[in-house]
Amino acid sequence: MTRLIIAVDGPAAAGKGTLAKALAASLNLPYLDTGLLYRAVARQMLLKNLDPVTESGEEAARNLQPQDLLRQDLRVPEIDRAASTVATQPLVRTALLQRQRDFAAATGGVVDGRDIGTVVFPQADVKLFVTASARTRALRRHYQLHGDATLSDVALQRLIEEIEARDQKDASRAVSPLRRAEDAILLETDDLDAGAVLQKALSIVRNR
């Protein structure tokens, strides 16, 4: 199973990370969360008071250090928004492309993101496209950030709108938009827990 490359794409909070991490552990492959690259670039820009809408993130992308990806504060709403803005910049995507390819070149790996099956690893051995309704994804994001804390209808509605806005931005950008590769297998996870999604994915990998 060496050098097996598994691409896991899909919209925000669909469970890609949970699945990709579990798949990597089951198959003894390295795992790369490519969203962290865009999040870390966005964070560097915000720290330097650079506006991701009007200023280039290329330098931040080129100078990214491995430890920048390990920070605990990359999953906050301000960085959600800034990352999906900076991800529309072609020079940022180009600067990050080779890093992503190098990551899995020698060892293979499970790589999750938006454009892994379409752009980063179009020759991936297995391509999965993981999705769920915006409501399910909003509930999962809330649980991930706040555990069992109560979620009002108004707050849920706001989360759904934020998720839909980010999907819209990711799917409509000119470069490497979020899109299912033609040969990607669709995994709809609304009615499945993480264990069931993993079992489905493992059987897809085994039967590839």
Binding of ligand C5P by 38 (CB under 6 A): yes
Binding of ligand C5P by 130 (CB under 6 A): no
To the question of whether residue 12 is assigned a binding role by annotation, the answer is: yes
To the question of whether residue 14 is assigned a binding role by annotation, the answer is: yes
Site size for ligand C5P (CB under 6 A): 14
Vertex 64 angle, CA 63 and 68, to 5°: 145
User: Shortest distance, CB of residue 207 to ligand C5P, whole angstroms?
Assistant: 26
Binding of ligand C5P by 44 (CB under 6 A): no
Q: Give the separation between CA 107 and CA 30, rounded to whole angstroms.
A: 8
User: What is the Rg, in whole angstroms, of the alpha carbon atoms belonging to the chain?
Assistant: 17
Binding of ligand C5P by 140 (CB under 6 A): no
To the question of whether residue 149 is assigned a binding role by annotation, the answer is: no
Binding of ligand C5P by 113 (CB under 6 A): yes
User: Shortest distance, CB of residue 134 to ligand C5P, whole angstroms?
Assistant: 14
CA distance to 150, 164, 167, 199, per residue, from 184 (Å): 36, 22, 18, 17
To the question of whether residue 11 is assigned a binding role by annotation, the answer is: yes
User: Shortest distance, CB of residue 152 to ligand C5P, whole angstroms?
Assistant: 24
Question: What is the phi/psi pair of residue 131, to 5°?
Answer: -145, 165
User: Shortest distance, CB of residue 206 to ligand C5P, whole angstroms?
Assistant: 26
Q: Give the separation between CA 158 and CA 185, rounded to whole angstroms.
A: 30
Q: Which window, 65-73, 79-87, 147-155, 186-194, contacts ligand C5P (CB under 6 A)?
A: 79-87
Binding of ligand C5P by 39 (CB under 6 A): yes
Q: Give the separation between CA 19 and CA 33, rounded to whole angstroms.
A: 11
Binding of ligand C5P by 114 (CB under 6 A): yes
Query: How far is C-alpha 50 from the chain's CA centre?
Result: 23
* β-pairing verdict for 126-131 and 109-113: unpaired
CA distance to 77, 78, 111, 134, per residue, from 47 (Å): 15, 12, 27, 30
In the complex, the residues that contact ligand C5P under the rule CB under 6 A are 12, 34-35, 38-39, 83-84, 87, 113-116, 166, 170
Question: Known binding site for ATP: residues?
Answer: 10-18
Question: Known binding site: residues?
Answer: 10-18
